[in-house]
Amino acid sequence: MSKTMKVGVIGVGYLGRFHAQKYAAMEDVDLVGVADADPARARQIAEECSTASFADYRELLPQVDAVSIVVPTSLHHEVGKVCLQQGIDVLMEKPITTTLSEADDLIHLAREHGRILQVGHLERFNPAVLAMQPLLTHPLFIEAHRIAVFKERGTDVDVVLDLMIHDIDIVLSIVKAPIVSILTAGAPVVTQHTDIANARLIFANGCTANITVSRISMDNMRRMRIFQPGQYLSVDFGKKEVMSVRLKPGATGAAPVPEISKSGFQDQDALELELRDFVQHVRDRSRPAVAGEEGRRALDVALQVVEQIESNRRRVEQILADEGRSDLLAYLHH
């Protein structure tokens, strides 16, 4: 591989545009081109980033070493398969694919062709998450909230695959045990897919994680609380802040005294950190922390959550049908 890595971005919608901008600003990277099914959009972003545009991503592949794939999730497998078969290293936006069989196929192709397959679970590069890692001992209870103001972007999938999968991935990375039980709740509110959801993950080592997500809030909030022996951690992803609370012995006969410490971090660009991490793994031919296997594991749990919620929804619809509530049924099917 040449000293200057040649990269491309496939899909330059809302998020793909940022990928292109970050690559274009890297001194050791040559953004060869961007591709999008909308030729006008591709030309617009290419002009912004002083690169070439392609209406067909296949025409871009012979010119690059690696690509970011930022197309709709339903196309991840199709596009990723072509790239890996042509010997291109891939950063795939999350979720890795729509099904486990598709994920397995991409993982197999990456191994077969000796390619890097990294999955874009961006929160792994949030400074608060990175700072939290050294403080973890044995999490017993984890509570996560990811609440967002409604946006049209991402509504091609339900909120579990859009937002909850971020926290699922983080939880799976810090709890070193298999899941033994999953309990869920969720509902569609403004789209045909689930817009608000909760999942309780129970692990074999005794840890329980309670994850709540919504994309129909009036405010944005991204927080995680972790309770472990002798310590409570509060992580604010938005503020990039970690608070630690420990109980230290009080005076003789007195109650323990809470010892509180807060750590704030500079507002680093998580996407830039992620893309530079990808570039480094491509150069080193080293395994990413969020390789295809980790992306698949998060997808596996997310799909189980989706299926449980859909099963509950079908049961509710049957109850409404039995009660003759056609008005509510019509809304659920809007």
CATH of the domain at 48: 3.40.50.720
The dihedral sign for the CA sequence 131, 96, 41, 278: positive
Residue 6 confidence (pLDDT):
98
User: Nearest-CA neighbor of 223 among 166, 146, 169, 164?
Assistant: 146
Residue 327 confidence (pLDDT):
58
Residue 317 confidence (pLDDT):
66
Report mean pLDDT in 10-residue bins for the chain, 334 residues.
85 96 96 97 97 97 98 96 98 96 98 98 89 92 93 73 94 95 89 90 97 90 94 89 85 76 79 97 96 97 94 71 64 55
295 domain-assigned: no
Residue 322 confidence (pLDDT):
66
140 domain-assigned: yes
Distance CA 6, CA 11 (A): 17
Range(s) of the domain holding residue 19: 5-115
Distance CA 320, CA 286 (A): 54
322 domain-assigned: no
Regarding whether 15 and 139 lie in a shared domain, the answer is no
Regarding whether 130 and 97 lie in a shared domain, the answer is no
Residue 311 confidence (pLDDT):
83
User: Nearest-CA neighbor of 56 among 29, 36, 82, 40?
Assistant: 36
Residue 141 confidence (pLDDT):
98
288 domain-assigned: no
Regarding whether 256 and 179 lie in a shared domain, the answer is yes
Regarding whether 256 and 150 lie in a shared domain, the answer is yes
Regarding whether 102 and 165 lie in a shared domain, the answer is no
Regarding whether 186 and 70 lie in a shared domain, the answer is no
DSSP notation for 157-170 = S-HIIIIIHHHHHH
Residue 127 confidence (pLDDT):
86
262 domain-assigned: yes
325 domain-assigned: no
Regarding whether 255 and 198 lie in a shared domain, the answer is yes
Count of structural domains within the chain: 2
How many other C-beta atoms are found inside a 10 Å radius of the C-beta of residue 48? Answer: 14
184 domain-assigned: yes
Quote the tokens at residue 193: 């897919």
Distance CA 57, CA 196 (A): 35
**Predicted TM-score (pTM) of this structure:** 0.88
Regarding whether 39 and 180 lie in a shared domain, the answer is no
Residue 204 confidence (pLDDT):
97
Regarding whether 224 and 162 lie in a shared domain, the answer is yes
How many other C-beta atoms are found inside a 10 Å radius of the C-beta of residue 28? Answer: 11
Residue 43 confidence (pLDDT):
97
User: Nearest-CA neighbor of 36 among 19, 28, 281, 26?
Assistant: 19
Residue 251 confidence (pLDDT):
62
Regarding whether 264 and 165 lie in a shared domain, the answer is yes
